[in-house]
Structure 1
């Protein structure tokens, strides 16, 4: 058994097995002198937070087709960006995306800073994203630690401290292994290793480039790592949404406040969300409301949401107390966040 893992073995594996992604400059291209576009690296990393590669690809391609540079994104209308983001979740990311793009475009001449510390000062960029952009876009030896890297480090060094308490220890191991030669490729290689070989279930240890120095493989504990502290059960919150359709086909919508869940997004007017009974609230427009059978269900990071749906058909001359009507030709369900789109889907089937 080799005593210590090294970046050379991993990079050799990556040169042959790197995943192909629309935002990635592959190892062969990079060796040929093609540098990554920091804008595309940053955009992909923001999109990938709490989301899968498969889910992000189409969003990334639409964004970069519509807004090919950070300056183009900075000039975009907030509502257009939020609409394109709909379905990716964690909508504060989209608001910070715009804030960051405008800082880079207006205060930094459209150029992202290369070093970790300066990246960390930008809106919406935390330690992981700063490390990823610094390493991948600028080939700086910054430590990059996501869930895949945590899993690789926990197994490589047979760390049994449960997450999240193990994060500092795992980050320290990741820092020690980060090379000064090809750090950008290395950062992507270790994430690829965790996503494809050192997977959460049934890791393919037999074909892993780090199988020899892996302490968990040697001790037979790889499949049990990383350990995680059990999560508390998520509470269930209840609310009601009002789907009002005008006789000409227009729908009554509101734009949610910038702060809070689904901030800045279009949605159906409705009640606050809370545990227990639906809280008192005002209806958005005078109408004869009917309650649909069933409920729209959606899960956020910290709670499950159950939405009762009330519907009504309203005349042309009636004005809403809350929200505004969106004409039939301008309404697109895809502009709604997932929770609100689920409510519309139930309405459409009724």
Structure 2
């Protein structure tokens, strides 16, 4: 089941993937910026701020050298300003301790301010091709329905079971596409309310269907 499920999911994603500007870049810095912006903020909002922020701070060095006032000004309107402070602090750490490069592994990324398990896994898989599964709201919903995983998704035990399911079917060296495909399926098809099951290309594999 898992191989055909994943194959059909990736085939769907190859055609139906959302057109998002950060997906056009392989620059780890740009991907990091997008993932921090997407914390607790809707994609539609980030679409407006992401290119503007990169215009102001196109490189890690530019961000590290900037005054925090200028960083906060460029962030203005996105809210949760702690994220901007964490970006600025992290940029300084990366210049001073990592040769101006983002770490490639999720474990090392989690040492930076403002990066938790999801953000670390997303950056590691998308920017560096690491075999990391991730859990966001969309992916939690998709996996819960596919495999009828019960329990409160906010609880650690439930998250461990969800992550184990994702790990079990994640294709080797395709974590980036796999993770983003599940995100898009949850955002466009497997909706919280009134899911569009008839339009789902993997409905035959879904235990909740």
Residues 3, 169 of structure 2: 8 Å contact kept: no
Q: How does 1:335-350 map to 2 (within 5 A)?
A: none
Cα distance in structure 2, aligned partners of 1:178 and 1:194: 16
Residues 156, 214 of structure 1: 8 Å contact kept: yes
Give the aligned partner of residue 87 of structure 2: 97
* 1:106, distance to aligned residue in structure 2 (A): 2.6
Is residue 2:170 matched to residue 1:203?
no
**Structure 1: 4+ residue segments shifted above 3 A:** 2-6
Residues 231-283 of structure 1, C-alpha deviations (whole Å, 9 max, x = no match):
xxxxxxxxxxxxxxxxxxxxxxxxxxxxxxxxxxxxxxxxxxxxxxxxxxxxx
* Residue 88 of structure 1, aligned match among 47, 70, 78: 78
Cα distance in structure 1, aligned partners of 2:205 and 2:119: 28
Q: Which has the higher contact order (CA 8 A, sep 6+)?
A: 2
Q: How does 1:280-291 map to 2 (within 5 A)?
A: none
Structure with greater helix percent: 2
Give the aligned partner of residue 123 of structure 1: 113
* 1:144, distance to aligned residue in structure 2 (A): 1.3
**Residue 189 of structure 1: SS of its match in structure 2?**
helix
How many residue pairs match? The answer is 207
Give the aligned partner of residue 13 of structure 2: 14
Cα distance in structure 1, aligned partners of 2:29 and 2:176: 15
Is residue 2:141 matched to residue 1:151?
yes
Cα distance in structure 1, aligned partners of 2:111 and 2:56: 27
**Residue 6 of structure 1: SS of its match in structure 2?**
helix
Q: How does 1:129-208 map to 2 (within 5 A)?
A: 129-165=119-155, 166-208=158-200
* Residue 68 of structure 2, aligned match among 75, 78, 98: 78
Is residue 2:103 matched to residue 1:113?
yes
Computing the radius of gyration from Cα coordinates, the structure with the larger value is 1
Superposition TM-score, scaled by structure 1 size: 0.57
Residues 141, 180 of structure 1: 8 Å contact kept: yes
* 1:3, distance to aligned residue in structure 2 (A): 7.2
Residues 23, 40 of structure 1: 8 Å contact kept: yes
Residues 5, 214 of structure 1: 8 Å contact kept: no
Give the aligned CA root-mean-square deviation in angstroms: 1.6
Residues 21-79 of structure 1, C-alpha deviations (whole Å, 9 max, x = no match):
11113xxxxxxxxx711011110000000110001111111111111111111111101
**Residue 212 of structure 1: SS of its match in structure 2?**
helix
Residues 29, 59 of structure 2: 8 Å contact kept: yes
Distance of aligned partners of 1:15 and 1:189 in 2 relative to their CA distance in 1, 3 Å threshold: same
Superposition TM-score, scaled by structure 2 size: 0.93
Give the aligned partner of residue 30 of structure 1: none
Residues 91-150 of structure 1, C-alpha deviations (whole Å, 9 max, x = no match):
211111111111112322221111111111112111111100000001111111111100
